[in-house]
Chains A and B, each alone.
Chain A
């Protein structure tokens, strides 16, 4: 082979290679990423006893995404939120997650609902760990996704149930209510809240005085007489309910009908807006007020906190875009509230996700997501509600808000003395 012919071959090779490189992308796109869109996967209950959670969470998130898409998306890509109904059944969530990752090629998972459904998909995230499949901002304050080995696979925006229940116990004990009973859902969610109450009481050298359970998926119309009877035997000073909004409302109704007048507190998963709606409807039918002496724990500000820009933005975008459910997930005759606490959480989740995705730049890669989320400077979600994953924490916020019902409205609790054991309770 002569030197001349070798050179000629090199020239030919380069001549063919240059056009080939020109048409090749700089690097392969990750799943869910195309020049036009970013696919985000969501599995939540859109039907069944807890349907309002999935619906409001979706609508709140879509209020944000529609606004972002209307202004050109994220670096030119539209956000496509693909959502499936799991009916709050862990096995369906499991199936939906596989579908989202393998069929829909979701870039990330987002806005899942419930402790048991989320706990069920954690092993999937572990399995797809090498593909950097991550779950962002599930609506649950349970511990499994906050602890090894799953803490690196899930980012939580909200405070934990442990923080919510600890605050409730501290406040109740402070006003002299030390005999605390727990009504809870017989699953991982209920156990998570129960454990939080137990640990918080142990800090005060106290124990849970009574407990009763109900099966997941129990409807508001079911009888809650037996759990009330079980708890009433030990004469508690206060009851903490770790349930869905439907079951918690059913328990409150049955307790009040049985003459139990002690404060009943519930945590953020029991959507206060949906619960209040059920209790007010039943109260009007029965000629009673079931909303007295209720305490609600929340992990996002009240939708009536109009002094907070984040709340004002949420309400404005809900008014402007009026997000609707995809046809496959909606059902007739079930109107959704315009604003809701869960909807606000969905909106804040989406706001934070948009900021993280924006940081990924023009070529979003799954592998870059943790670094973008762990941005030590934190995120301002609308002045007054800031979150940060600084220090490698996978939980952005520790904020817990307590509210009660007065005059048919949810109002923040600034003063706990009305809940003093022998004090008067202002309706």
Chain B
């Protein structure tokens, strides 16, 4: 079986449109997920920093750095948090979660402000760091680093799942459209054979069995079949004459 040439262009156009839709949908998905996750993670990081800063007040006033470290270690278990550290009012590190050491970039650039900064750290990757003051900065500040790799991973996962679904739909649609077109074009093939017989290419007398079951159809195919049959009957040298 084969499709008629008439539909090849149309099919190509449909497939292109389908592909364009898939690409556009994926791009929109990446943009939306990236924007929403970034906002969500940034907001969570701020909340975490504030929570630790609030909980640290009594701990710091009691000079209990072991409890402060325990607090940081518990928050480190939250997905996406790359590191936490606390500096005192002089900017000295008094607790942190870095292994095997504090990255030189953070040692050089850490501050007490609450504005978020984006860092590119060796061995950790890109991180959004948020700071929150303790006792309005009188007792230092808490810094929370949220890795953006998790956001990228979530985007990859979301887009990957979408592309996977679209690919399956695309393959299914190709198979289905091929079957439907084949079914739709089969009567045209038979009409073509009948027309060529009528034109005297292959036989003197057209074989009406090719179009017998098409004559009763009330669509364009039936109309063509009836027209060809009429032409066959009015053809010079026809048996009906």
Contact = CB atoms under 8 A, between A and B. Distances in A.
Interface stretch (A64-72, A186-194, A348-356, A379-387): A186-194
B95 interface: yes
A99 interface: no
Contacts of B62: 147-148
Contacts of B94: 195
A212 B100 contact: yes
A150 B195 CA distance: 101
A63 B62 CA distance: 39
10 contacts: A143-B67, A144-B70, A147-B64, A188-B66, A188-B73, A195-B66, A211-B101, A212-B101, A213-B98, A227-B100
A119 B66 contact: yes
B101 A187 contact: no
Contacts of A116: 70, 73
Interface residues on B, range: 10 to 19
Contacts of A212: 100-101
Contacts of A115: 66
A300 interface: no
Interface residues of A, number: 26
Nearest to A228: B100
B138 interface: no
B69 A187 contact: yes
Contacts of B67: 119, 143-144, 188
A409 interface: no
Given A191-B68, A230-B100, 18 more contacts: A115-B66, A116-B70, A119-B67, A119-B70, A143-B64, A144-B66, A144-B67, A144-B70, A186-B98, A187-B69, A187-B70, A192-B65, A192-B69, A194-B65, A212-B100, A213-B99, A214-B99, A226-B100
Contacts of A195: 63, 65-66, 94
Contacts of A143: 64, 66-67
Interface string B88-108: 000000110111110000000
Given A116-B70, A119-B70, A191 B65 contact: yes
User: Which of B66, B73, B101 counts the most A-chain CB atoms under 10 A from its CB?
Assistant: B66
A215 interface: yes
A229 to B, nearest CB: 9
Contacts of A120: 70
A146 to B, nearest CB: 9
Interface in A225-247: 226-227, 230
Contacts of A214: 99-100
Given A143-B64, A147-B62, A147-B64, A191 B69 contact: yes
Nearest to A148: B62
Nearest to B69: A191
A158 to B, nearest CB: 16
A125 interface: no
Contacts of B101: 211-213, 226-227, 230
Contact of B73 (A148, A187, A226): A187
A155 to B, nearest CB: 18
Interface in B142-169: none
Contacts of B98: 186, 213
Contacts of A213: 98-101
A148 B70 CA distance: 16
B66 A186 contact: no
B99 A191 contact: no
A321 to B, nearest CB: 36
A317 interface: no
B64 A144 contact: yes
A277 to B, nearest CB: 25
A190 B65 CA distance: 10
Interface in B39-70: 62-70
A235 to B, nearest CB: 16
Contacts of A144: 64, 66-67, 70
Interface in B67-83: 67-70, 73
B99 A186 contact: yes
Nearest to A210: B101
Contacts of A190: 69
Shortest Cβ-Cβ A-B pairs, 7 listed = A191-B69, A192-B66, A188-B66, A195-B65, A230-B101, A188-B70, A227-B100
A95 B115 CA distance: 40
B178 to A, nearest CB: 58
B142 to A, nearest CB: 15
A208 to B, nearest CB: 10
A94 to B, nearest CB: 12
B120 to A, nearest CB: 20
A148 B66 CA distance: 14
Contacts of B100: 212-214, 226-227, 230
A113 interface: no
A215 B98 CA distance: 9
Contacts of A230: 100-101
Interface in A166-211: 186-192, 194-195, 211
A101 interface: no
A187 B68 CA distance: 10
A139 interface: no
A189 B69 CA distance: 9
A226 B65 CA distance: 25
A226 to B, nearest CB: 5
A142 interface: yes
A138 to B, nearest CB: 13
Contacts of B70: 116, 119-120, 144, 187-188
A205 to B, nearest CB: 15
A120 B77 CA distance: 15
Nearest to B98: A213
A193 to B, nearest CB: 9
Nearest to B59: A144
